[in-house]
Structure formats: C-alpha cells, structure tokens
Structure 1
Amino acid sequence: MVSTIRTHRATAWAALLLAIGLTSAGCSSSASTHTAAASQTGISPGAGQSALAGMPGSTATGPVDGTGSPMPGMTMSDPATPPSGSAGTAAAPVSGNTIAIRNFAFAPAALTVKAGTKVTWTNQDSDAHTVTSQNNTGPLASAALSTGQSYSYTFTTPGTYGYLCTIHPFMTATVTVIP
C-alpha cells in the first residue's frame, strides 16, 4: 500500500515537472514511470508540431496547421500594412466620390475630395447603417440605410469630417475636403 502511494506521488510529481518543462537528472524513478506520467497528463505535440509551445527548446508559439496561421481558416497579414477600411485603422486617403458600406466598414475609410464634390454612400450590407457626423456636430445625418439604399452630401467647406454609423459606432471614417 505504501509503495503504491509512493508510486502515485512520484508519478504526480514527474507529471508536474514534465508539464512545466523541468527534468530531474537525479530522479530515482524509471523511464517508464516518466513515460506513464506524461501520458497521464495528456500533453503532447499536435499534428505537424515538433514541440509544444513553451517546451524547452521549442520555438512554437501556438498550434501549427501547415499554413502558418494560428487558427484554421484565418490568414495572417503584415501589421505594417493594415487592410484599408478596417475599423480602428488609419487608411491612406483616396480620391473619388463614392463610399461603399460593406462588411461593417466604410470603404474607403478615408476619402479626399475637392470642395463642391457630392459624395454618395451606398449600403451593401444586409444590416442597416447610418452616415452621421461624429458627436452630431457636422452636416452628415442620414436615416438608417437598408441594403441597396444610398445617402449623398455635397461638401462645400474645406476641412476634415469624421463620421460613424450610429447603429454600429465602431464603424468610423473621414472625408477630407480640400479647396
């Protein structure tokens, strides 16, 4: 009975040490005890991994699926070049006079036009959106636009006009009007 308790206790300690990446060169337990302890913890590298993240000597930072992506179905992008129209990112201003509302974003997120230009927003999402000046302090104030509906405004005064969707306030963008 005492021998069984000692074996279980040694196995538990071996599993703990293995889980935190420590080994014990002077351990009196046999290699089979350590192998049994490792199999009891259920910790092992996944398919395509040579080591688990955090294991000694490992350079892995997460699951590896062969695509370089930490999550199946996701793609990695260079953070130095964020996609334009993404919520919370500063996009390079573009010229034109139309803005698409799609994928819960205004595209382009930054538009530069000359004074006197009529800008038109068209909702391409299945959800309704608005085009409203930030803090309700500007000229933009559309009703809720259903799929396919548009809103237009002619900018006459130079400046930068920040706007958002009041239904989805994370959707923000700017129109810069130049003389």
Structure 2
Amino acid sequence: MKFRQRLAAALCWLPIAAGAAEHHVVIDGMKFSPQVVQARPGDTIVWENRDMFVHNVTAAAASARMSSGDLAPGKTWRWVVPAGPSFDYLCTLHPVMKGHVDVAGPPRRSPAR
C-alpha cells in the first residue's frame, strides 16, 4: 500500500477529526461576528480580519491560553477548540471588542462504520 493510501486509511479512524466542524468569525467594524461561537472540542474556529485595522484574538483569562498574535487586514487565524470550559476573548488592541466561545459537550465522533 502506498504511503498516501496508508495515511488516508489511518485518518479515517481518528474519532475527532472526521466529525469536527469549522466555524467562521468575521472581524469587521470593530467587532467579532458572530460574537458567540458554540463549538465542541476538536472543532476549528477561523477568524478573518476584514476590518481596516490590525486586531488580535486573545483569551480574556490567561488560563484559556489562546492568542492569535496581530492579524493584519485580510489575514485569518485558525484555532482548534480544546476540551475544557467555555471562555471569553477580546482584541487586546481594542478591548471593547469582545467575544465568547461556548464549549459544549464532548468531542464530535465520526459515524460508526
């Protein structure tokens, strides 16, 4: 079996990746939209800066350990949601910009085979 075929077969058995969802948050007009993202562990959230200013995505509590660094206009940042509690985030450059990640339930599972 070729390497790519073995890799594809192995990835089919990963329980989280196969059922994970992708959520999109647009940064524009000095706000995050949607402001609340409901996600499960293993899901990916993609923030896209469509504003004319540099922004960042940073967990409000240091324990959440999430920080995008500066996102220039037109840039995106992807982050995989870990298991754990829900948390607030903000743009530290513009603290009036706030959002929330609602981490609900266990990781998504792939359908039974």
Counterpart Cα distance in 2 of 1:133 and 1:148: 21
Counterpart Cα distance in 1 of 2:38 and 2:76: 19
Q: Which of 37, 42, 47 is the aligned partner of 1:116?
A: 42
Provide the residue aligned with 1:164 in structure 2: 90
Bigger proportion of residues as helix: 1
Structure 1 length-normalised TM: 0.45
Structure 2 length-normalised TM: 0.70
Instruction: Give unpaired runs (5+ residues) of structure 1.
Output: 1-94
Q: Which of 96, 116, 130 is the aligned partner of 2:56?
A: 130
Q: Report matched runs for 1:83-94 at 5 Å.
A: none
Radius of gyration: which is bigger? 1
Provide the residue aligned with 1:176 in structure 2: 102
Number of residue pairs matched by the alignment? 85
Instruction: Give unpaired runs (5+ residues) of structure 2.
Output: 1-20, 107-113
Counterpart Cα distance in 2 of 1:143 and 1:136: 14
Q: Report matched runs for 1:46-65 at 5 Å.
A: none
Counterpart Cα distance in 1 of 2:59 and 2:75: 18
Matched, 1:139 2:65: yes
Give the secondary structure class of the aligned counterpart of 2:56.
Answer: coil
State whether residues 116 and 155 of structure 1, in contact with CA within 8 Å, keep that contact through their aligned partners in structure 2.
Answer: yes
Counterpart Cα distance in 1 of 2:22 and 2:77: 15
Q: Percent identity?
A: 27
Q: Which of 106, 111, 120 is the aligned partner of 2:32?
A: 106
Provide the residue aligned with 1:155 in structure 2: 81
